[in-house]
Amino acid sequence: LAKTTQPISMDSYEGQEVNITCSHNNIATNDYITWYQQFPSQGPRFIIQGYKTKVTNEVASLFIPADRKSSTLSLPRVSLSDTAVYYCLVGDGYSTLTFGKGTMLLVSP
């Protein structure tokens, strides 16, 4: 399974755009990139998944460069309720989910 590296923590203010970058240098051809969000004492929640280029849904965008060795989760205009831990995962649908420590995002007023 490809290992991922992401910042331990990030700080932002309400209304700003937040970009969290994840490195996955040994990503395999069949691997997808998936991001989960987790609030304290709750289970992780799927945010977005992509394979290449850009994917956008109602809550976030995912940017993947051509070499796919990294990816960036973009959260537009964050609010206090976006304070959470964000996990980047790499694998195919047959792989079990392997979580790292994630990125703790703190949004302040």
Partner 1 sequence: DAGVTQSPTHLIKTRGQQVTLRCSPKSGHDTVSWYQQALGQGPQFIFQYYEEEERQRGNFPDRFSGHQFPNYSSELNVNALLLGDSALYLCASSLPATSESYEQYFGPGTRLTVT
Binding site for partner 1 (CB under 8 A): 30, 32, 34, 41-46, 49, 87, 89, 91-102
In the complex, minimum distance from the CB of residue 109 to partner 1, in angstroms, rounded to a whole number: 25
Q: Give the span between the Cα atoms of 88 and 37, in whole angstroms.
A: 9
Closer residue to partner 1, CB minimum distance, 83 or 95: 95
Among residues 13 and 39, whose Cβ is nearest to partner 1? 39
SS3 81: helix
Nearest distance in Å: CB 15, partner 1: 28
CA–CA gap between residue 33 and residue 17 (Å, rounded): 21
CA distance 7 to 104: 8
